[in-house]
A and B are shown apart, each in its own frame.
Chain A
């Protein structure tokens, strides 16, 4: 399979802060790639660098086999980009936006635009400034897919959309994906959406691509273990693949990647009363993987009350 997106050592600084750090990314033709990360992880900056909107400090980007820095217009015409917030010219009507965008492309599927506008019940006479966020997303999608692009890059396309509109939008996206050879690269905070459409995910953590694997593989790799102890909870547990570790009262909760016999042996060596292995969905796996160091929590019910709080309660 050929790579539609390929970056090598892509790095970007904002001031002294490295927002994208030596990113090596490869997206194959026909893939639907979900690009995930918390706010400020570097997703939008990466997407803007892919699209040539932001200049990288070092590294290279190839889209459809061509360097982005010197990309010719004919190649750019094969790439669709929906920026975050669906920026469009508000003074235009939908019809004006369609006619304006069409002027730039040699290939334009007017029938598809009609179908999308009809599907979402959008009138061509409507002013863009009067559209809701969801409707703007739908117009953006229609404008993006009309030139029959081989690669669609979408920066958080479902941001700010309600559940129904989001579902509609994604279903349209899935229909478009079914067109042969089309590659979609999109960032999102909606893990459920990503789970539904993406066959591969990348997770950025503090500008570094920490995960790049099939969606199912990531979900199945991240496990949460709940260890219950009768005595005091042991401290300073460490083993290979440990992402996070914290205590909640008499329990020790661990998040592990690639739970295997070696890790099981390490956990059993702690001699817990009970070990529960919890399967996580993508959203839970993402949260556990990216939330960072968690502070251990006491069980609030078991907190000894001090005199002040006791007297307060008595007063109440």
Chain B
């Protein structure tokens, strides 16, 4: 039954995933000098994974994907009343949410991994660009990617949490974005990890509280 749930979640995320892949492909092509739209880094000497624009694009594309995915997995089900269908199946409610979260977090990390792997592979290939490249240079990109999990969880909680008005309902998503921004911008790794882990724990506590307590 967990497999069926996971396949359902994957299937429902396919559309967003396709959009995310298109975004990542555009960003990667742009960075390696095959831009479809203006704003290419072609012919400009820069260190791979070190250009500011790449960090911005990565944040925007992955952030949008994470936000939309979090809402898709919760608010969409609420809107269509399909929670009444899925939560009546004979398994613990928290398992339904664990599977949703596992699939969602995996997709966020996977999309980032796709970007780092393809762009890293191109960067590691000789004669593609005039600057040196070491795989350790991908660390900031990994960091950005992992902080997007906070954005995803914030959106997931926003979609799940009832709110008297739109602003308070969006508070967890805003908190997730702020925590992600903070965790990715501070230079000390240990502090980033502390912020990241704390954010994840707080958001997960909120999610599991509301999945048991809210009215569906």
In the complex, chain B residues 1-52 whose Cβ is within 8 Å of any chain A Cβ? 1, 3-4, 8, 11-12
Determine whether A85 belongs to the interface, using a CB cutoff of 8 Å to chain B.
yes
Instruction: Please indicate the chain A residues that have their CB under 8 angstroms from the CB of B56 in the complex.
Output: none
Show the binding face of A for B, using Cβ within 8 Å.
48, 51-55, 73-74, 76-77, 79, 81, 83-85, 87-91, 99-101, 103-105
Additional pairs, 13, CB under 8 Å, beyond known A87-B80, A87-B82: A52-B87, A53-B83, A54-B215, A54-B216, A73-B90, A76-B89, A77-B90, A83-B84, A83-B88, A87-B81, A88-B82, A101-B89, A104-B1
Is A53's CB under 8 angstroms from B82's CB? no
Instruction: Please indicate the chain B residues that have their CB under 8 angstroms from the CB of A84 in the complex.
Output: 81
Is A104's CB under 8 angstroms from B215's CB? no
Is A104's CB under 8 angstroms from B3's CB? no
Determine whether B188 belongs to the interface, using a CB cutoff of 8 Å to chain A.
no
Nearest opposing residue in chain A for B2, CB measure: A103
Is A89's CB under 8 angstroms from B82's CB? yes
Show the binding face of B for A, using Cβ within 8 Å.
1, 3-4, 8, 11-12, 80-85, 87-92, 213-216
CA–CA, A53 and B83, complex, Å: 9
CA–CA, A277 and B30, complex, Å: 86
Is B90's CB under 8 angstroms from A104's CB? yes
Contact A87 to B4, CB < 8 A, known contacts A73-B92, A77-B90:
no
Is A91's CB under 8 angstroms from B4's CB? no
Q: Tell me, rounded to whole Å, the shortest Cβ–Cβ distance linking B5 to chain A.
A: 8
Nearest opposing residue in chain B for A105, CB measure: B90
Instruction: Please indicate the chain A residues that have their CB under 8 angstroms from the CB of B8 in the complex.
Output: 89, 100
Is A48's CB under 8 angstroms from B88's CB? no
Instruction: Please indicate the chain B residues that have their CB under 8 angstroms from the CB of A77 in the complex.
Output: 90
Contact A81 to B88, CB < 8 A, known contacts A53-B215, A54-B215, A89-B8:
yes
5 contacts between A and B (CB under 8 A): A73-B90, A76-B88, A83-B81, A91-B12, A104-B90
Is A48's CB under 8 angstroms from B4's CB? no
CA–CA, A79 and B90, complex, Å: 9
B213 interface neighbour in A55, A79, A90, A100, Cβ under 8 Å? A55
Is A55's CB under 8 angstroms from B3's CB? no
CA–CA, A223 and B210, complex, Å: 48
CA–CA, A210 and B116, complex, Å: 65
A100 interface neighbour in B4, B87, B92, B214, Cβ under 8 Å? B4
Is B91's CB under 8 angstroms from A73's CB? yes
CA–CA, A48 and B80, complex, Å: 16
Instruction: Please indicate the chain B residues that have their CB under 8 angstroms from the CB of A100 in the complex.
Output: 4, 8
Q: Tell me, rounded to whole Å, the shortest Cβ–Cβ distance linking A284 to chain B.
A: 33
CA–CA, A32 and B1, complex, Å: 31
Q: Tell me, rounded to whole Å, the shortest Cβ–Cβ distance linking A50 to chain B.
A: 11
CA–CA, A88 and B84, complex, Å: 9
Instruction: Please indicate the chain B residues that have their CB under 8 angstroms from the CB of A90 in the complex.
Output: 80
Instruction: Please indicate the chain A residues that have their CB under 8 angstroms from the CB of B11 in the complex.
Output: 91
Instruction: Please indicate the chain B residues that have their CB under 8 angstroms from the CB of A91 in the complex.
Output: 11-12
CA–CA, A53 and B88, complex, Å: 8
Is A103's CB under 8 angstroms from B4's CB? yes
Nearest opposing residue in chain B for A83, CB measure: B84
CA–CA, A54 and B215, complex, Å: 4
Nearest opposing residue in chain B for A90, CB measure: B80
Is A81's CB under 8 angstroms from B84's CB? yes
Instruction: Please indicate the chain B residues that have their CB under 8 angstroms from the CB of A48 in the complex.
Output: 84, 215-216
Q: Tell me, rounded to whole Å, the shortest Cβ–Cβ distance linking B84 to chain A.
A: 4
| Best-buried of A48, A87, A105 by chain B (most CB within 10 Å) | A87
Q: Tell me, rounded to whole Å, the shortest Cβ–Cβ distance linking A127 to chain B.
A: 13
List the 6 shortest-distance A-B pairs measured between CB atoms, nearest first.
Answer: A103-B4, A83-B84, A77-B90, A73-B90, A87-B81, A76-B90
Instruction: Please indicate the chain B residues that have their CB under 8 angstroms from the CB of A51 in the complex.
Output: 84, 88
Is B88's CB under 8 angstroms from A87's CB? no
Is A87's CB under 8 angstroms from B90's CB? no
Instruction: Please indicate the chain B residues that have their CB under 8 angstroms from the CB of A76 in the complex.
Output: 88-90
Is B85's CB under 8 angstroms from A88's CB? yes
Instruction: Please indicate the chain A residues that have their CB under 8 angstroms from the CB of B215 in the complex.
Output: 48, 53-55
Nearest opposing residue in chain B for A144, CB measure: B88
Contact A104 to B85, CB < 8 A, known contacts A54-B215, A54-B216, A89-B8:
no
Is B84's CB under 8 angstroms from A104's CB? no
CA–CA, A91 and B8, complex, Å: 10
Instruction: Please indicate the chain A residues that have their CB under 8 angstroms from the CB of B90 in the complex.
Output: 73-74, 76-77, 104-105
Nearest opposing residue in chain B for A103, CB measure: B4
Is A83's CB under 8 angstroms from B85's CB? yes
Contact A104 to B91, CB < 8 A, known contacts A48-B215, A89-B82:
yes
